[in-house]
């Protein structure tokens, strides 16, 4: 072997297994997102217009990213959001809304490791008014 490669000053030392190591344990429960999730997950499919509004209404827990909005001003968004239903499914983590084009109602909603794309002029207009 070339001396520069095997001329060691220090070895990497002893080997220990630290942590909970297990092999071939079937994936269960633990959400490890795929590299390139293309289709909406079950969680995304559950994201309805109403749930988006609820997410935006509870802005302390939900991220709300809005771009390309119209110029219309309106009362505060939260004040116009419908009351939350106790039976509605709850998304884990923040829900982020990206209004790509308020005029056409082109909206992206991000939650967990999913994205869903909506076309809803009324919702886009309400968000735009909320940002007034």
Partner 1 sequence: MSSHREAPEISKDPVADSTDVYAFVSPDKPDTVTLIANYIPLQEPAGGPNFYEFGDDVLYSIHIDNNGDGYADISYEFRFSTQVLDENTFLYNTGPIEAIDSPYFNRRQFYDLTVVSGHSQHTIGTNLACPPCNIGPLSTPNYSFVAGQAIHKLHNGITVFAGQRAEGFYVDLGSIFDLGDLRPFEALHNTFGLPVKLSAAPGVNDTNDLNVHSIAIQVPISAVTRKGHPSIGVWTTASRQSATVWDADNGQNVSSGPWRQVSRLGNPLVNEVINPLGKKDLWNTLPPSDDKRFAEYVAHPGLAALLPTLYPGVFPNLAALVKAGTARADLEAILLTGIPTGIVPGFTNYTGPVLADMLRLNTSIPPTAKPNILGLIGGDAAGFPNGRRVFDDVVTVEIRAIAGATYALVDKTYTPDAAAGEVTDGLTPSDVSSPYLDVFPYLGVPYSGYYTPDATPPAPPAF
Under the criterion CB under 8 A, does residue 16 sit at the interface with partner 1?
Answer: yes
Site for partner 1, residues 80 to 109, rule: CB under 8 A: 93-96, 98, 108
- We find the least distance from the C-beta atom of residue 81 to partner 1, in angstroms, to be 19
Nearer to partner 1, 36 or 83 (CB): 36
Output b/e per residue, 56-86; b: 16+ Cβ within 10 A: bbeeeebebebeebbeeeeeebeeebeeeee
| Residues belonging to the chain | 132
* CA–CA distance, 21 with 66 (Å, rounded to integer): 42
Under the criterion CB under 8 A, does residue 8 sit at the interface with partner 1?
Answer: yes
Nearest to 100 by CA among 130, 75, 123, 73: 123
- We find the least distance from the C-beta atom of residue 29 to partner 1, in angstroms, to be 10
Span of 58-66, 68-76, 78-86, 120-128 interacting with partner 1 by CB under 8 A:
58-66
Tokens of 85: 């239903």
Q: x-or-dash pattern for partner 1, window 61-80, by CB under 8 A?
A: --xxx---------------
Question: What are the strands of the beta sheet with 114-119, ordered from one edge?
Answer: 95-101, 106-111, 114-119
Under the criterion CB under 8 A, does residue 42 sit at the interface with partner 1?
Answer: no
Q: What residues line the site for partner 1 (CB under 8 A)?
A: 1-2, 4-27, 30, 32-38, 63-65, 93-96, 98, 108, 110-115
């Amino acid at each position: 072997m070339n001396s520069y490669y095997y001329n060691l000053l220090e070895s990497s030392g002893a080997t220990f297994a630290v942590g909970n190591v297990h092999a071939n344990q079937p994936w269960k429960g633990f959400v490890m997102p795929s590299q390139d999730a293309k289709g909406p997950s079950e969680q995304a499919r559950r994201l309805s217009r109403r749930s988006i509004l609820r997410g935006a209404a509870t802005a302390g827990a939900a991220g709300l990213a809005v771009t390309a909005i119209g110029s219309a001003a309106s009362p505060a968004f939260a004040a116009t959001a419908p009351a939350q239903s106790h039976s509605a499914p709850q998304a884990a983590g923040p829900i982020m809304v990206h209004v790509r084009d308020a005029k056409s109602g082109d909206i992206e909603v991000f939650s967990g490791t999913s994205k869903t794309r909506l076309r809803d002029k009324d919702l886009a207009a309400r968000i735009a008014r909320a940002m007034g």
